[in-house]
Structure 1
């Protein structure tokens, strides 16, 4: 195909800079998990934007931060590894927050790859502020590093999402599509299901939990004798009994709610009815223990 481009892009930015929401807006379906809690994306979920003139594969990285635990360190290594493998990087900074030390920390890391890989500055969440503030944020971002391009967008109301898609695609190498048409992500279904459960478990929970929740889908199989029902057995791991109590809620009400929400999203993702069996387990200090990190998939 003449002039057809295909390649990889990733969005980086502080936790909660709107990276996953932007991925979903570009792909047009919910694949990366979004939560108001920072640090919810753990896996490199790829969203695939299929266009007549190219294919843009979005790799979602965890937010880069100054690590405090072994898990934090592993996540950061994962981020840098991803950056070195993509064709273009989008650096997301929300319009409603001042450019801070966290952003400058990331920019300093990005400078190291900017010679090889174009970095596009993206001001996200423009729907939350005035045009004047968007303009000021673009100027502030310009001073942080030398970008290949700068663009304001809003995933919420679709402002400039298509323009961003054009811009990123233009920076990809020419070449044939890398994935068959119709595919939206190459993550195994079990990983996506685990992420949806994790997202439901995080909703409305106090701030001490995000890092401490891991979900492992033990098995996913069709119910015997029925092709319209899938049995999903999953364990939600936390580090302490007090956290278990938070997720369980009064008389198990909260866990029930988590199950209902997660099941709805899983059924939508897989297009089939689901029986979801959830258990909460305690894995003491799993974020600091290499053996447990491996067992939980990190």
Structure 2
């Protein structure tokens, strides 16, 4: 087969036949036939893609989702074959000619690159359930606590406010086996936290009430929680609402910022704190 530097046009040699073959080969087809006599064939180089499974372990992770991805490396592979032989070619205007050919064939195989970047999603690492904690956050620069003030109401209260009853700033919560928020039982019925989605608004107030009432009333959805094992950040969610707000001092969960309520809501990042001894 022709080398790159042989692909030139000389006289009627419009097929790029190299000089050493031109006396014996009148056209490109003769030259190709001559190459075939030497057993020179196209060289195919195939590099298969490899599939790798990436395993990621997050410290204290509850769940880790790992994707399997495929990556293919791009390589340009030069392949050179050289052969030599003697043959007799019958061509027009020349009775016979004995020519010795030394044919060098260089082939390049290119493998296309295809790379898929794996997506690794690791869920939040939560502390064990059943451990009591208080929920505190900064509201207008003051350290406040999420507090059950009675009458099904929760409120963000500043610790030590002299106008609060003695038990106001000491509400302690716990997550049950399903990760649902409730007050630490005090000998009575379980008091759980919920939102009422019957109104259908993006921002709903969080209330406290007996568990059996919540479970028996359509549209009341219990609040699910998590205390991050590393940062102690508290996350709360119910019916797709997970932004924790303080609106006029009351706790709300929202899919936004609560502006549709017109209550001067602020977004909070609460922390879990050990209850007083």
The normalised TM-score by structure 2 is 0.18
The normalised TM-score by structure 1 is 0.17
Q: Point out the structure with max Rg over C-alpha.
A: 2
Which structure shows the higher strand fraction?
2
